[in-house]
Amino acid sequence: MPAPQECRRVAFFKMHGGGNDFILIDHRERCFPRPEQPKLARRLCAPKVGVGADGLILLETSDRADVAWRFYNADGSEAEMCGNGARCAARFAVLQGLAGPRLTLETLAGIIHCEVMDRSARVQLTDVDDLRLHLEIPVGEETLTGHFLRVGVPHTVIPVADLEAVPVTRWGRAVRFHPLFQPAGTNVNFIKVGNPHELWIRTYERGVEDETLACGTGSVAAALVAARLEEVRSPVLVHTRGGEVLTVTFAPGEPFREVYLEGETRVVFEGRLWLEEIL
């Protein structure tokens, strides 16, 4: 795709939230045409020929919010929402002077309200819907019991007795593509509740197609399902695979209201992309 010379050396940040890592680009100049963005995401997120990341975030101007994003998974698919991505995007916007510490982010899931406090970022998620409890999910010779809901994106939460023993990739892939959740598919979260304010999680992420070190919307989905099963109550500390602890808060009652995700974000490095193989 032909591009102006200034689009061939593109500034970027590499950031992560809880080990969920992203490439972030100030894309207000719109260097990359929309049809080419999935290809760009696949190449930049690839670990050997690109930067390596779980996703690509392009921040653009918005008529409805302080800033808008296009969010792409590592496989090039576009996602409606990503909790950890939104936290990183909010801090990136503040660091780049695109918005103040209280800002709104336009996503395909709706307008997300964010607050940045030094390295920590807090985001309010859009409405939760399509809650379905106690689903029987045949996986090979076993039947798993899962609970489905949409937290901007689809998630299935599966409580387990031994989180370390779970074959996350095998079970996760089977559930992610299961006919029950087509055509969109689902992210898959395996959880173990420790006490009324604490749980542990491992996530198979749609679009990455493997286990990730953390998933923000998955952490929220896990906390809300466990709350509906009367195993936890707000606030809930969610221990991710990457070792980070995310905090999920929500108002009591039904339906879920005032749902927030909070945790640290970290800048890994910044630099310039030489897009010789892409442009």
Mind telling me the catalytic residues? 82, 215
Assign 75 to helix, strand or coil. coil
Distance CA 144, CA 57 (A): 34
List, in order, residues 6 or more apart from 251 with CB less than 8 Å away. 234, 257, 258
Quote the crossing angle between the two packed helices 216-228 and 83-95, to the nearest 10°.
130
Q: Which residues contact 191 (CB under 8 A, 6 or more apart)?
A: 157, 158, 159, 160, 163, 199, 200, 201, 202, 222, 225, 226
Tokens 């936290």 — which residue? 87
3-class DSSP assignment, residue 120:
strand
Task: Please answer whether residues 223 and 230 qualify as being in contact, where contact means their C-beta atoms are separated by less than 8 angstroms.
Answer: no
